[in-house]
């Protein structure tokens, strides 16, 4: 009997260890498809020249002559950068290395927004990286707001296929008159199409680009179950290889137009290669959504009693 009990206990220990390893090494289970490296097609910008401090200046440190920056979250404050220009469509990307260790409640965001100019009907396109507890990896949350409050958001959540704390990985956004595409290491994970059938849900006003780290204890980890534990602070995120290519909004111009008579194929605003995903990109996005997506607002009947029109 004692021998059988030992076998049972040993079996349970093995199962627990396997579950722990599998939960922390989810990223090792998948190899992404090969895709075109859009991040190699555009030039990097100087963070020191193209961004200004948004908040938490004492927790912001420019490095390598302004080509990269460390942003920190501690008990006193988070920190953030904002682009000096506003954009009306374009390609936006950053290589990000996330804080290591336990980070529940920590939110790292790379996003476009015009909430400063349109507080009651703002647009926003979000890449948010949500910190983890002992049982879960970092989570990628994408979101789109148009002409409304945060209650109009359209979230989708994904696991990553790599450890985002070990080295920099690219997180990118395509935004033009055709669609919004979210990409991770150049792999599209989500496409949000622009349709004349539901124009009000598509971001259409000029936006600034932001890079931030902040305390999302109230909602970020399991609905706020696990707040930030400042025993592990400071939480430091590294931003590098920032790219901003597109239509810069000119506030003095009567009409905003960046259309070109003969745009190159790699023009993210008007280029034909940015009108729709290539076959290669579509296959890669299907892979990411089948393997890694675990939440979509389209399937959330508790929040949307009627299916949003773009989901049908």
Residues acting as catalytic residues: 124, 128
User: Which pair of structure tokens corresponds to residue 69?
Assistant: 């920056």
User: Which pair of structure tokens corresponds to residue 125?
Assistant: 């396109």
- Kindly compute the dihedral angle of the four CA atoms of residues 48, 53, 56, 62, in this order, to the nearest 10 degrees: 0
Rounded CA separation 156/206 (Å): 23
β pairing state of 293-296 and 156-159: antiparallel
Q: How many residues does the chain have?
A: 312
DSSP label at residue 167: S
Which phi and psi (to 5°) does residue 242 adopt? -75, 140
Residues near 21 by Cβ (< 8 Å), separated by ≥ 6? none
Q: With contact defined as beta carbons under 8 Å apart, do 44 and 68 qualify?
A: no
Q: Which residue is it, tokens 């912001």?
A: 60
Q: With contact defined as beta carbons under 8 Å apart, do 180 and 195 qualify?
A: no
First and final C-alpha spacing in the chain: 59
């Amino acid at each position: 009997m004692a021998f059988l009990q030992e076998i049972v206990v040993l079996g349970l220990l093995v199962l627990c260890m396997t579950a722990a390893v599998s939960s922390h090494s989810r990223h090792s289970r998948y190899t992404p498809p090969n895709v075109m490296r859009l991040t190699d097609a555009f030039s990097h910008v100087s963070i020191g020249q193209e961004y200004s401090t948004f908040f938490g200046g004492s927790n912001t440190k420019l490095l390598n002559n302004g080509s990269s920056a460390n942003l920190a979250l501690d008990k006193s404050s988070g920190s953030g950068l904002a682009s000096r220009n506003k954009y009306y469509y374009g390609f936006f990307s950053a290589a990000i290395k996330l804080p290591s260790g336990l980070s529940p409640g920590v939110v790292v965001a790379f996003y476009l927004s015009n909430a400063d100019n349109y507080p009651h009907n703002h647009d926003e396109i979000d890449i948010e990286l949500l910190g983890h507890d002992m049982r879960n990896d970092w989570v990628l949350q994408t979101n789109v707001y148009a002409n409304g409050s945060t209650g109009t958001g359209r979230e989708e959540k994904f696991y990553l296929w790599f450890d985002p704390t070990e080295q920099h990985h690219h997180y990118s956004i395509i935004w033009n008159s055709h669609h919004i595409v979210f990409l991770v290491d150049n792999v599209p994970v989500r496409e949000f199409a622009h349709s004349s059938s539901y124009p009000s849900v598509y971001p259409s006003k000029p936006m600034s680009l932001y890079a931030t780290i902040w305390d999302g204890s109230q909602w970020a980890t399991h609905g706020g179950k696990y707040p930030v534990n400042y025993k592990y602070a400071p939480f430091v995120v590294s931003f590098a290889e920032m790219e901003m290519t597109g239509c810069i909004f000119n506030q003095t111009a009567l009409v905003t137009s960046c259309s070109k008579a003969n745009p190159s194929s790699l023009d993210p605003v008007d280029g034909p290669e940015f009108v729709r995903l290539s076959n290669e990109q579509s296959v890669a996005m299907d892979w990411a959504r089948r393997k890694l997506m675990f939440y979509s607002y389209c399937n959330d009947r508790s929040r949307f009693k009627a299916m949003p029109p773009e989901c049908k």
